[in-house]
Amino acid sequence: MELDLDTEMNLDDMDDDLLVIGDSQQYLFFILAGDIYAIDVNNISEMIEYQAITKVPLMLPYIKGVTNVRGKIITVLDLRERFGLGETKLNYKTSLVITNNIALIIDEVHEVTSVEESNLKESINFGVKIERRFVKNMASYNNTHIVILDCDEVLNIKEISQKRASK
Amino acid sequence: MILDNLTALTIYEVETLQDIFILALKEQENILLDMAKIDKIDIVGIQLLLSMVSTVKASQKTIKLINVKDTVLQQIKISNTQIALGLDV
Amino acid sequence: MTEELEIFLEDCDDQLQMMEDALVDMQSNGASESTIGTIFRAVHTIKGSAGMFGFDDIVTFAHTGENLFDSIRQGDVGVCEEMISLFLLCKDHMEVLINLLTEDKELSAAQKEVGHNLIQRLEGYLPRAQIKEENIEDIPSTIVIEAAKWHISIRFHKDFFTTGMSINSVFKFFNKVGKVLKIQPIIYNIPSIEDINPLHPYIGFEVCLLADLSKSEVEDIFEFIQEDVDLYIFLCDDSDEYNTLVSIRKEPELKNELINAKFIDEDTLIEPELIIPTVEEKEEIVLNQKEEEIVLNQKEEEIVLNQKEEEIVLNQKEEEEIVLNQKEEEEIVLNKKEESSEPKKKAVSSLRVDSSKIDILINYMSEISITNSRILTLIDDEGSEIGETVIHMKQLLEFVSDGIMDMRMVKVGDSFNKFRRIVSDTAKKIGKDVDFVISGEDTELDKTVVERISDPLLHMLRNSIDHGVELPEDRVACGKPAQGRVDLRAYQDSGTIVIEIEDNGKGLDRDRILAKAIENGSVKKNNNLSDSEIYKLIFSAGLSTAETVSAISGRGVGMDVVKRNIEDLRGSVEIESTIGQGSKITIRLPLTLAVIDGFLLQVGDTKYIIPLENIKECIELTTIEQESLNGNEFINVRGEVLPLLDIRLLLGENKSITERQNIVIVYFGKKIVGLLVDELLGEHQTVIKSLGIVFDQLSGISGASVLGSGEIALIFDVARLIELRNEG
């Protein structure tokens, strides 16, 4: 409980910084199936190392189950599988990014940094490996173009809460 | 439209009335709500009327409450909702 | 009786008692400043609260008394012997008035006469001028002189409408204590007619009140509804507060609304972005808040101390009584004097606590218990001194957590009695004569369960009256008494709460339900449904057998919602019915939603918990027995046929690899099923947590729990599992 409050406070502080910066926004850059993707940090409440997961039966394959984060029960979703890029192979770099009480499994945290608004663009590059609906926009980052994920679509409750079709 | 089955517009009637209203909204262009038989109203009823009035307005139709009894009007005035309900005072 | 009314009555009892004590003291020791003050405050408090409820008889009566005491307090009028006996008579009359409220009766002519007489006698003592002034203006003149302009922002919690309290009576009361300068209804949150839940409040109010009251006195006006409203009160002069109001309400339209209604000029309201305090200011605010909290905490401590003192006094009294009782037994001599001079008082003093605070405690308790069991596993030596201490700790923690759980329990009576009026109104409206009988009011149930079961019960009661009980003439024609009867019962039965609604009306028409279900396609033509399966169909969506849609029910929505609500509470519902004799709906609910004693077991990779209250016994199966079972859906247990449910199959797990399998025999109500599982791991007390919305559609699992190891176990919903078995 204590710790929860702390993380919330930290996010508040971040907000203040962002106000000062003005036209830029912070993003988490992470690696998934060999490519870099980004999520707006405002969507993220916490990042932790991968930890044991309790399987919940009958759900879609990418809903891996639930995990205990300081007494709170958090749903775990395999982002690679959600995007149809195969199941995540666990190693010591595997992490959980918690957004909206759902933990996303990612291969590796890359960095958290801010992106100027002028470096964002709506059009989607050719060669993006995931479905367009998951893409919010693109960001120029180290001379390449990176997909910024649309969290609302990735975590579309109606879609991800469906039960697995019976065999 | 005359609310002939009802004599009050309170927490006990709002669920029924909601159905009646939804139906009226589908079938009628300009709705006249005859309140002649209503002797009692409470805040729950007022809220439902407010919802109806704003829904009707949003769909480019008109609604008017007529023959509102004094006792009912007094209750409406206590919460100062008469203007939002389009009642001439 | 509503909870609010009950608090009011409790409060009145206290105030009247204080008044009597002070008056008796006055009789023997003469009037003192403190006794006069006590009586004045008591009368004032009763008047204030009675005004809130619109009990005008009490208000008028108390008002005269209050005026006289005000004059006494200011030294304008002296106290004499007759005056004290007059006050005692007045106190008795107030008691009569309040008791009438409890019994919901009208004032008789004789009682009215007594009241009138007393008022006249009271007025006889008042200085002439004051009576006149009072007649002209109901508001005491002092109010206008020092009045402050208060802004009161009101929003309502979800249940406000159903508590039966009226906001209009609050507004009326505003005009009694001061002058309402403005009331602005806030209506932009009201959904469209299609989307609105008419029983939930969306409306809000911004009020400007001119009154000679302090902030806490303004807050006191809301005393009886404070749990169900969200208030923000400040002085109208303070333009900063308007900015705060706009930012805390988080309603984008509010700013314009306040400007349009001329609460404030456009210039005074700053754009929300700009009012974010700098870091230093923020710290200051935090500091101030802390100071406030400290002050508050001190106050709370004082209150707690006072209460403790009271309790101690009470305990002493009780002890004395016990001693007395013992003496009685020993000597069989009654000390009559003592008995008559000390009327037996019920020692119930209560403390109102926000239920969310209890939820927080429960959560922490579960964390503590988990941590404690982890310590035990770390020590790994239960026999050592430290091991024993931890085990002792575990027992103590169980006491504490039982105690906390107990705080959540409330008697169902309050909630049941609320139905009386609605039942009689409903019956009257459709011309039926119904005797509504409540029993088992003292049965205790988790507060959350009570709140959430209230709407479904109301719906079923309305149904019983509308569809069940016949019109008086029809009843007589069938040879039944003209008056029908609807029973609402509650009782405990093996770890669950049972609520029954029974009527002696015409019963369910089996054939018509079936015809209707076939017509709308939910049941096939050639079926062999049992009677109880057919009755259950009334809980499916879109099935109303009422031939005409009446104002009360028969809209085809509702009963399916009722069933879902009950299932959400981990409960079940069943119907029995006999044509011509009536129907009975039986609802079974768990005692509490927060904690269960469960049995831990494993299926596949996942651990599960079955609530202990649902378990009859566990049987171990050897490999040979398993083979003989081989796909059978039933097993013979000591000569009785037991339907089986293979959990692995249900949950889509691979076929078992363990040598031994177990059967856990579970029951819910009268239904019984054997669950085929892998491994049994033992008993486990656990706090139920939600799995999260992603798993909302997963049936058969009602939640999850964190084990001592930090692992998560899923909790089976036995009622649902049994249904799943029967559905195949």
| Per-residue pLDDT reduced to its tens digit, C153-173 | 999 988 788 766 678 878 888
Calculate mean pLDDT across residues C55-63. 79
Range name among A82-96, C56-70, C134-148, C507-521 with the lowest pLDDT average: C134-148
| pLDDT over 80 at C272, yes or no | no
The predicted pLDDT at position B11 comes to 81
Interhelix angle C559-568/C447-463, nearest 10 degrees: 160
**What band does A64 get if pLDDT is binned at 50, 70 and 90?**
very high
Share of chain C above pLDDT 70, in %: 79
Chain B nearest C-alpha distance from C229 (Å) = 14
**What band does C626 get if pLDDT is binned at 50, 70 and 90?**
low
Residue in chain B nearest C207 by alpha carbon:
B79
- The residues on C that touch A, with CB distances below 8 Å, are 276, 279, 360, 363-364, 366-367, 370, 604-607, 651-653, 689-698, 701, 704, 706, 710-714
Nearest C-alpha neighbor of C415 from the set C435, C432, C440, C395: C440
**What band does C291 get if pLDDT is binned at 50, 70 and 90?**
very low
The predicted pLDDT at position A3 comes to 37
Q: Do chains A and B touch (3 or more CB pairs under 8 A)?
A: no
Domain boundaries in chain A? Answer: 2-155
The predicted pLDDT at position C653 comes to 76
Contact C249, C153 (CB under 8 A): yes
| pLDDT over 60 at C280, yes or no | no
Calculate mean pLDDT across residues C241-256. 83
The predicted pLDDT at position C660 comes to 66
> Which of the four CATH numbers 3.40.50.300, 3.30.565.10, 3.40.50.1370, 3.20.20.140 does domain C412-590 have?
3.30.565.10
The predicted pLDDT at position A13 comes to 42
Nearest C-alpha neighbor of A112 from the set A50, A45, A34, A25: A25
The predicted pLDDT at position A22 comes to 52
Optimal mutation site among B37, B80, B83, B89, interface C, most CBs of chain C within 10 A: B80
What phi and psi, each to the nearest 5 degrees, are found at residue A116?
A: -65, 145
Tell me the range of A141-150, C89-98, C336-345 where mean pLDDT is highest.
Answer: A141-150
The predicted pLDDT at position A35 comes to 92
Contact C239, C268 (CB under 8 A): yes
In sequence order, what are the residues at sequence separation of 6 or more whose Cβ sits closer than 8 angstroms to the Cβ of residue C277?
C285
Residue in chain C nearest B14 by alpha carbon:
C198
Share of chain B above pLDDT 90, in %: 8
Contact A25, A18 (CB under 8 A): yes
| pLDDT over 70 at C674, yes or no | yes
Interhelix angle C81-102/C56-73, nearest 10 degrees: 160
Which among C605, C693, C713 has the least Cβ separation from residue A157? C693
The predicted pLDDT at position A150 comes to 93
Which among B6, B11, B50 has the least Cβ separation from residue C203? B50
3-state secondary structure of C642: strand
| pLDDT over 70 at C317, yes or no | no
Range name among C209-223, C266-280, C603-617, C643-657 with the lowest pLDDT average: C266-280
| pLDDT over 90 at C591, yes or no | no
Chain C nearest C-alpha distance from B48 (Å) = 6
ipTM exceeding the 0.85 mark: yes
**What band does C279 get if pLDDT is binned at 50, 70 and 90?**
very low
| pLDDT over 60 at C194, yes or no | yes
Contact C69, C36 (CB under 8 A): yes
- In order, the DSSP letters of C85-97 are HHHHHHHHHHHHH
Which among A55, A67, A75 has the least Cβ separation from residue C694? A75
Tell me the average pLDDT of chain C. Answer: 75
Written out in words, the top-level CATH class of the domain with range C3-136 is: mainly alpha
**What band does C713 get if pLDDT is binned at 50, 70 and 90?**
very high
| pLDDT over 80 at C438, yes or no | yes
Contact A141, A38 (CB under 8 A): yes
The second-level CATH assignment, the architecture, of B8-78 is 2-Layer Sandwich (3.30)
Count of CA atoms in the C-beta half-sphere (13 A) of C175? 10
d(CA C283, CA C595): 40
Domain boundaries in chain C? Answer: 3-136, 142-276, 282-329, 355-408, 412-590, 595-727
Contact between C711 and A52 using a beta-carbon 8 Å cutoff = yes
Residue range A2-155, CATH number: 2.40.50.180
Handedness of CA C62, C63, C67, C70 (dihedral sign): positive
Tell me the range of A66-70, C97-101, C174-178, C323-327 where mean pLDDT is highest.
Answer: A66-70
d(CA C400, CA C397): 5
Which among A16, A57, A73 has the least Cβ separation from residue C712? A73
d(CA C524, CA C539): 17
Chain A nearest C-alpha distance from C660 (Å) = 22
Cα torsion through A47, A49, A54, A60, rounded to 10: 60
Calculate mean pLDDT across residues C457-464. 86
**What band does B5 get if pLDDT is binned at 50, 70 and 90?**
low
Share of chain C above pLDDT 90, in %: 6
Written out in words, the top-level CATH class of the domain with range C142-276 is: alpha beta
| Per-residue pLDDT reduced to its tens digit, A69-126 | 877 899 999 999 999 999 999 999 999 999 988 999 999 999 999 888 888 888 777 7
**What band does C376 get if pLDDT is binned at 50, 70 and 90?**
confident
| Per-residue pLDDT reduced to its tens digit, C318-361 | 444 444 444 444 443 334 333 333 444 444 566 777 777 887 88
Q: Is C235 exposed, middle or buried (0-12, 13-18, 19+ CB in 10 A)?
A: exposed
List of chain B residues whose C-beta atoms are within 8 Å of the C-beta of residue C203: 43, 46-47, 50
**What band does B3 get if pLDDT is binned at 50, 70 and 90?**
low
Q: Which helix (H) or strand (E) segment is C511 a member of?
A: helix C510-519
Higher-pLDDT residue of C42, C553: C42
Residue range C595-727, CATH number: 2.30.30.40
Counting as contact any 3 or more CB pairs under 8 A, the partners of A are: C
Please give the structure tokens belonging to residue B39. Answer: 């002797």
d(CA C242, CA C233): 10
